[in-house]
Amino acid sequence: MSGQREPVRIFSGIQPTGRKHLGNFLGGVQQFVEGQHRGDAVYCIVNMHATTIAYAPEALRERVYDTQALLIAAGVDPDKCVLFRQSDVAEHGVLCWLLSSVTAYGELGRMHQFKEKSVQQRDLVSTGLFLYPVLQAADILLYQAQEVPVGEDQRQHLELTRNLAQRFNARFGETFTVPRIRVPKTAARVMDLQDPTAKMSTSARGDAGTVHVLDDPDTIAQKVRSAMTDSGREVRLSPEKPGISNLIEIYAGIPAVDRRGRGAIRPNDLWPIQERRL
Ligand code: AQP
């Protein structure tokens, strides 16, 4: 035995839908970049998840490439991690089916994301949308991931994934690694700049509260300047001050070199995120 520890297996996914925003970047993508330097990282563009709501096939196909380009621009390096398209690996769908048989119907009905997204669907609330967290569990368990870097909004899905792995193992013998969630210490849940009680999201109604990663600098500055803040002059983190707290979290979450406008993010200068404090 060499005594060397195996690198931690990291898995995460990102949807090729809509325009990626600051929440996706701070909650997800920044962690992808950090993970590829620390562990055995596997990242997936989850185009099958994107078919659970109405979509145009041509546009979705293109967005896979756009998302891949964004990830690479943000520092995800295919020489340091595995980066792939979900639909290229048929086993994601196969495992989703097997896991669906150890998933209680009631568990899926309690998922916040399903409840929120199903009311946004005008014509059809698909079974795919209902099964979305089971496919996500399959994505993760298929690679025996130990760690899953995501934003705070994915905590409930990760808890379900852990439950499914434990249930499957108990019924059929040790099969899956039970993964742990990894959320950033700061900016784990970036809120909408115009409504700091709602998460910054791709499907937000208006554009003013969402900073898209491809917005130009003037637009970003304008959105931040117009952000809704709170009454009083105090600048502090507090649940009573959701607007100011959101801006502080965002500021703390953005890498220092970027804040000073010195150009590209250099992950090795900035990580691990756990060490960063306000
Ligand atoms: N507001 C957020 N704050 C922090 N992290 C966030 N993530 C999403 N929103 C926030 C994290 O981004 C990663 C990729 O998420 P996704 O693939 O689900 O992308 P999306 O569908 O574009 O994300 P949205 O905005 O959450 O979509 P809608 O509006 O459809 O609900 C994940 O790690 C996620 O946690």
pLDDT score, position 273: 34
Provide the pLDDT confidence category of residue 233 given band limits of 50, 70 and 90: confident
Mention every residue, 6+ apart, whose C-beta is less than 8 A from residue 118: 125, 129
Output the ligand 1 site: residues, CB below 6 A.
14-15, 17-18, 23-24, 26-28, 150-151, 153-154, 188-190, 199-203
Q: Which two tokens stand for residue 181?
A: 């969630």
Helices (H) and strands (E) in the chain, counts: 12, 5
C-beta separation of 228 from 196 below 8 A: yes
CA gap 209, 204 in Å, rounded? 8
What's the rounded mean pLDDT across residues 54-71? 96
The residue type at 125? V
Indicate if the pLDDT at residue 3 is higher than 80. Answer: no
Q: Smallest Cα–Cα separation from 32: which of 56, 51, 14?
A: 14
- What b/e string do you get for 119-155 counting C-beta neighbours within 10 Å, with b at 16 or more? eeeeeebbeebbbbbbbbbbbbbbbebbbbbbbbbbe
Q: Is the pLDDT of residue 21 over 80?
A: yes
> Which atom in ligand 1 lies closest to the alpha carbon of residue 191?
1
| Confidence bin at 259 (pLDDT 50/70/90) | low
pTM for the model stands at 0.90
Distance 148 CA to ligand 1 centre (A): 14
Q: Enumerate the H helices of 45-172 as residue ranges.
A: 57-74, 91-100, 105-109, 112-120, 127-142, 155-172
Higher pLDDT, 43 or 266: 43
Mutate to test the pocket of ligand 1, among 17, 24, 53, 183 (most ligand atoms within 8 A of CB): 24
Is pLDDT of 198 > 70? yes
Going by alpha carbons, the residue nearest to atom 21 of ligand 1 is: 15
Assign 258 a pLDDT band (cuts: 50, 70, 90).
Answer: low
State which H helix or E strand residue 211 sits in.
Answer: none
**Residue 154 CA, closest ligand 1 atom number:** 35
Q: 2 CA to middle of ligand 1, Å?
A: 40
Instruction: Please give the number of the atom of ligand 1 that sits closest to the Cα of 25.
Output: 12
At residue 48, what is the residue type? M
Query: 266: pLDDT confidence band, cut at 50, 70 and 90?
Result: very low
For position 257, what pLDDT does the model report? Answer: 57
Nearest CA among 57, 52, 65, 58 for reference residue 96: 52
